[in-house]
Structure 1
Amino acid sequence: MAFHHSAVDDEEDTSIGIPRRYAWIVFALTFGLLISDYMSRQVLNAVFPVLKSEWLLSDSQLGLLSGIVALMVGLLTFPLSLLADRFGRVRSLALMALLWSLATLGCALAQNYQHMLIARFMVGLGEAAYGSVGIAVVMSVFPKSMRATLASAFMAGGLFGSVLGMALGGAIAVKLGWRWSFASMALFGLVLAVLYPIIVRESRIAPKRLGAISQKSKAAISRPLRTLYCTRSVIGAYVGSGLQLFVVGTVLVWLPSYFNRYYAMDEGKAGGLAALIVLCCGAGTVCCGMLSDRLCRHSQIRKVDLSIAYCLGSCLLLSLAFALTAGPLQVILIALGMLIAAGTNGTTGAMVANLTHYKVHGTAFATLTLVNNMLGLAPGPFITGRVSDLIGLHEAFQLVPLISIGSAAVFIYIKRHYIADIARPKGDESSEACLKKSVGVMS
């Protein structure tokens, strides 16, 4: 079957005129801030055992400290990303980084559980729109042919940040105490927040040439916001990604505690081993994105096929892992499962970019982030914590991989519609028709 390009694919390349060296500088700084974002978010997981014993907390309370950040990201990512698209992405990113870094410093100063919960609330507020706006900035300075690779590499920054947050956080907690774990992450973020707007300029990443779009293109994309919800495939991409990240996010949050309880490791060793597995996840995310771009040059439907494979493969490997008792084989299987578990980050990121108009890419990725958090990253750790309180963390982990089956089912549904949806000119349906279609998908 011949592949027909959408209006998005035919649009003017937003990277034209931007020097490649400057594009990589923008990527490096934006990537660095994303690492800071997740270091501030995930350092908490490394000190779970300390907080649990010092403040006498339940797993449900610990899960809430983690989940409240994802909840805030889910609730606020869309409106804040929409504002950033309209009023300047660079300025918005710098302000976000400043807020989450100061809030992380507040975590270091917390005197009780209530103080920590408020500080984590503020961390979530600062991080709410960073991922969606940051990836929109990165995609705007590189060619369209690199979309899956960039999406997966950028999203892997979150995993690499998680690695550093857990490994460094655990090591610092052992040597200097858990408060210094938070303070160190805050300092790193503050430095980058100051440097970012000095080096990355709005005028250089969004030049005036983008205003020179043909009248035909303008007619085809007269209402770009409709592309956020106007096809079955884009709605499915949001949902499928969110369900798969329920699994990824839950394992990331609870692995240090799992190794602490079932492998009798201290906070430093548990965080270090968990960080190695997260590193596997991050490397796998990048490799899966590169594989997607390579295999999908002549057949876009392969993005969907790969998404299905990543979901089912990770479900099988993680289910086998948590059916075993503690030991080297279990660790190897967990690492292999996590190697492909987040592979859908690149494929769904590319799907969303291809199915929506570039003018609202920040808002499109905000929508993806919203669903990722509301379906996956926010409820996953909390629900698992509640189940752990009832039946134990090991038994709770046995149930988590099954969510990937639901994600795979959504991608199977997408496969039936993706080619037709991506070929349709953007903005050619009324808002009422698009909403009816979206409701049909969800039902």
Structure 2
Amino acid sequence: MTEQQRNARFALAVLFGINLMNFFDRQIAGALGEPIRIEFGLSDTQLGLVSTVFTLVYAAVGVPLGRLTDNWLRTRLIAIGVTFWSVLTAASGLAWNFTSFLLTRIGVGIGEASCAPAGQSLIGDLYPPERRARAMAIFMLGLPLGLFLAYMLGGYIGHHWGWRAAFLVACVPGLMLAGLALFIKEPPRGSVEARTSLALPGSPFRSVLRIKTMWWIVLSGLLFNFNTYAVNVFQTPFLQRFHQLGLQDANTISAVSLGLSGAIGLFVGGWLGDRLRVQRPNGRVLVAAFALLFAAPCVFMALQQPQGGIVLFAVLMGASTAMSFAYYSTVYSAIQDVVAPNLRGTAVSLYFFAMYVLGASFGSTIMGALSDSFAQQAMVSAGASTMEETFRAAGLHSAMYVIPILMLLCAGSLFGAARTIAADMRAMQTQTR
């Protein structure tokens, strides 16, 4: 094994760990949403607002950090970001009211904005195009496993020692991984490409936005993230309210159905995406498009289950997650196919800005607002004057039916990308020599 291969494997292992903690620290608030809501006396809209503010800050800070990724040491940027968000995660456990909790989550969002552009840019320079989707799948494996651990450990720690303890525990592994990131050897940009990038005139942002496929991918990202963040914030509360589970049991089901099952889709999607990419230029995005197309009815059928129908709900949501997670290993790799190496950090940051500002930030808040509205309607229909938990359960149940509709729209946008990606890949080749 060459030194370059050893560095690539070490870097991928560290980046996987960092991405795992990225999503662990991000999702721990959703796993513990009910005890936080009860202690601070929040509505569902306020609970969703925490995620909204987090993602807006994450997206806004990600754009300048994406440009910094293309011009500075990526390993150092990652180490600083991981350290910052880990410390602020611990500070979340010390919050004394809603405002202080919200401010600490903003800090976590600032730190985490460094992870995706720099991490994906490094992978693009460590692995050749024919192996990139599988490498991206390993990196993105941190997402489902991070969610899995956030729900499992968050539920367990929250049940036994309170929700604050879970935030304090999350700080330690992040600081360790920040130190390991400094031992990654920075690869030259475009080192594994057959050709090297030409310097393009004009704004790098305009260069990225001239790529038609990026517009389709951005549209798919905002629809995908709307659903993802809405589900991640509200599935555990839904299980607690509608199916009347305890905190630990509800989080265990979410851990498996929203987290662990996603690993299957990542690896199968990455493997299938690489195989079809050899046969046809749009192979990767077609895999993602069909996966979302089949995932939507699974969510619909899961929501159709009656109170107490836990097993079938978990199986159907798990199947939907497994198919949906093919999105990450295929679409993220497709970005690398149409964007030159010296613009990939910029491209990822713009993509993340759009899908978080227009998608994720609206997902949790709109879901919360819909839940509150439907709960109010249920209360009025029952002739009651007090908002009871049964009305909150009915409201959230009704609101979640928006998810399969948007999944179908996401699939449609990916079919649009499949029509333009071949031409954009050829155009990218003309920008290199």
TM-score over 0.5 for the alignment?
Answer: yes
Deviation, 1:387, is 0.7
The Cα of 1:95 is off from its aligned counterpart by 0.6
Instruction: Report whether the alignment pairs 1:312 with 2:296.
Output: no
- 1:303-382 mapped onto 2 (5 Å cutoff): 303-326=284-307, 327=309, 328-382=311-365
Letter in 1 for 2:322: L
Does the Cα contact within 8 Å between 1:281 and 1:340 map onto a contact in 2?
yes
Structure 2 gap ranges (5+):
375-394
Work out the CA distance in 1 between the residues paired with 2:181 and 2:31: 28
Pick the aligned partner of 1:149 from 106, 110, 134: 134
Distance 1:60 1:282, change over 3 A: farther
Q: 1:196 to 1:219 in 2, by over 3 A?
A: closer
The count of residues paired between Structure 1 and Structure 2 equals 407
Q: TM-score, normalised by structure 2?
A: 0.88
Cα pair 1:244 1:311 within 8 Å, conserved: no
**Shift in alpha-carbon separation, 1:219–1:20, aligned structure 2, 3 A:** closer
Tell me if the contact between 2:20 and 2:141 (Cα under 8 Å) persists in the aligned partners.
no
**CA distance in structure 2 between the aligned counterparts of 1:132 and 1:49, rounded to whole angstroms:** 32
Partner of 1:302: 283
Alpha-carbon deviation of 1:304? 2.9
SS of equivalent to 2:260: helix
Structure 1 pair 177–18 and aligned structure 2 pair: CA distance change class (3 A): same
- 1:393 and 2:396 aligned: yes
Aligned to 1:206: 188
Whether contact under 8 Å (1:148, 1:347) holds in the other structure is: yes
Report the equivalent of 2:253. 273
Cα gap change, 1:310 to 1:245, in 2 (>3 Å): farther
Tell me if structure 1 keeps the 8 A contact 2:340–2:428.
no
CA contact (8 A) 1:224 1:427 kept: no
| 2:101 counterpart (116, 140, 161) | 116
Counterpart Cα distance in 2 of 1:111 and 1:177: 14
Contact 1:384 1:396 in 2 (8 A): yes
**1:338 Cα deviation after fit:** 1.2
Aligned to 1:21: 6
273-282 or 302-311, larger mean C-alpha shift? 302-311
Cα offset for 1:210? 4.9
Write the distance in 2 (CA, Å) between the matches of 1:393 and 1:200: 45
Q: Could you give the per-residue CA deviations for residues 167-218 of structure 1, whole angstroms, max 9, x where no partner exists?
A: 1011111111111100011122122222321x2133xx238x959997xx56
Please give the alpha-carbon distance, in whole angstroms, between the structure 2 residues aligned to 1:414 and 1:91.
34
Alignment equivalent of 2:61, drawn from 73, 76, 89: 76
1:263: which partner in 2?
243
> SS where residue 201 of structure 1 aligns?
coil
Q: C-alpha displacement at 1:242, in angstroms?
A: 2.3
Instruction: Report the Cα offset of residue 329 of structure 1.
Output: 1.7
Structure 1 Cα separation of the partners of residues 22 and 428 of structure 2: 36
Give 2:36's aligned amino acid: L
- Any residues of structure 2 matched to 1:414-425 within 5 Å, and which? 414-425=417-428
Q: Give me the whole-angstrom Cα distance separating, in 1, the residues matched to 2:54 and 2:117.
A: 15
- Whether contact under 8 Å (1:153, 1:286) holds in the other structure is yes
Q: Which runs of 5+ in 1 are unaligned?
A: 1-15, 429-443
Give a deviation string over 1:255-303, Cα, whole Å, max 9, x none.
2111111222221111111001121023312221211112221212222
Structure 2 match to 1:287 = 268
Determine the structure 2 residue equivalent to 1:31. 16
Matched, 1:51 2:54: no
**1:236 maps to which residue?**
216
Distance (Å, rounded) in 2 between the aligned partners of 1:212 and 1:310: 29
Letter in 1 for 2:411: A
Rounded to whole Å, the distance in 2 between the matches of 1:414 and 1:39 is 31
Mapping 1:406-421, distance limit 5 Å: 406-421=409-424
What's the secondary structure of 2:53's corresponding residue?
A: helix
Percent of aligned positions that are identical: 25
Task: Summarize the Cα distance change of 1:115–1:369 in structure 2 as closer, same or farther, 3 Å threshold.
Answer: same
Segments ≥4 residues shifted beyond 4 Å: 209-214, 217-224, 425-428
Number of the residue aligned with 1:403: 406
- The amino acid of 2:299's aligned partner reads L
Residue by residue over 1:57-78, the C-alpha shift from the partner in whole angstroms, topping out at 9 and shown as x without a partner, is: 1111111112222221111211
Q: Which residue of 2 aligns with 1:434?
A: none
- 1:104 equivalent in structure 2: 89
Which stretch shows the higher mean deviation, 419-428 or 236-245? 419-428
Change (3 A) 1:285 1:212: closer
Separation of aligned partners in 2, 1:265 and 1:188: 30
1:245 to 225, 234, 238: 225
What's the CA shift string for 1:16-62, capped at 9, x where partnerless? 97532221111111111111111111111121111121111111111
Is the Cα–Cα contact under 8 Å of residues 173 and 180 in structure 1 kept in the other structure?
yes
1:360 partner amino acid = L
Structure 1 residues 121-167: Cα deviation after superposition (integer angstroms, max 9, x where no partner): 11111111311211211232122211222223322312211111121
